[in-house]
Amino acid sequence: MGRARVLIVAGSDPVAGAGLQADLKTVTALGGHGMTVVTAITVQDTSAVTGVHPVPAELVAEQMRACLQDVGADCVKLGMLATGEIVAAVVGVLEGYPAIPVVADPVLAGTGGGTLLDARGREWFLRALVPRVALLTPNLPEAARLTGVAVDDLDGMREAASLLLDAGAGAVLIKGGHLPGEELIDLLVDRTGEKTFHASRLPGPGFHGTGCVLASAIATGLAMGRSMPEAVTEGRAHLRAAMTRARALGKGQWLLG
């Protein structure tokens, strides 16, 4: 097998701490070949998102088809999709490639604020996209917003994961970075059971792009033929190492190393 091919469909982050720039760096660092489909141009820094400019949905679809028809892909990683039209276009392209696993990070809002998926996009995401994904990777606020349940402890994480499995996801990784306390818990659930991952909280003012890096690392593992638990375990290890190397290059959140 050649280099694992990961098709990244995400928004652009000019400081390269999140979005498709962080995704591409992650895939490359792990030995894969990343391809990038731009869904939106954002104006953001390490402190806040101040502008979002979506790409026309058909242009997103054309970028995807160009990559898939030429190079192909072993996994697709979805990040910011911005609008319902883009979600629908992505679903339409993926229908032609049912064997390719999809890792979807439901980017609803930036860590520093800003709406990154509109209301119609959230509706399409749940109805049409979730049933297509092999793995969904929401954080606690995203899981709560997608399911309408309170997600502030492990029981809430289990309830939200169950609802997202019922919506059609192959597996759900709910990230516990917003939990209080010094011990953090991530929960991986599929139809065979669950696995919890534990870590201690790292000091700092917050980290830019953690969800993007984790989802991309997992997607690269799946593209390389890892099982879902293996890909999640290795992806979390890669993210943890990047967080320990993070630096305060800007005025807000630290950028991963």
- The predicted-structure confidence for 109-150, as pLDDT tens digits, reads as follows 665 555 678 888 788 898 999 999 999 999 999 999 999 999
For the chain, how are helix, strand and coil distributed in percent, rounded to 5? 40, 25, 35
Query: pTM to 2 decimals?
Result: 0.95
pLDDT the model gives residue 111: 57
- The predicted-structure confidence for 48-87, as pLDDT tens digits, reads as follows 899 999 999 999 999 999 999 999 999 999 999 999 999 9
Pairwise CA distance, residues 2 & 163, whole Å? 37
Residues of 39-78 as b/e, b for ≥16 C-beta within 10 angstroms? bbbbebbbbebeebebbebeebbebbeebbeeeebbbbbb
5-255 domain in CATH 3.40.1190.20?
A: yes
Percent of the chain with pLDDT strictly greater than 70:
97
For the chain, give every domain's residue range: 5-255
CB atoms under 10 Å from CB of 184, counted, come to 17
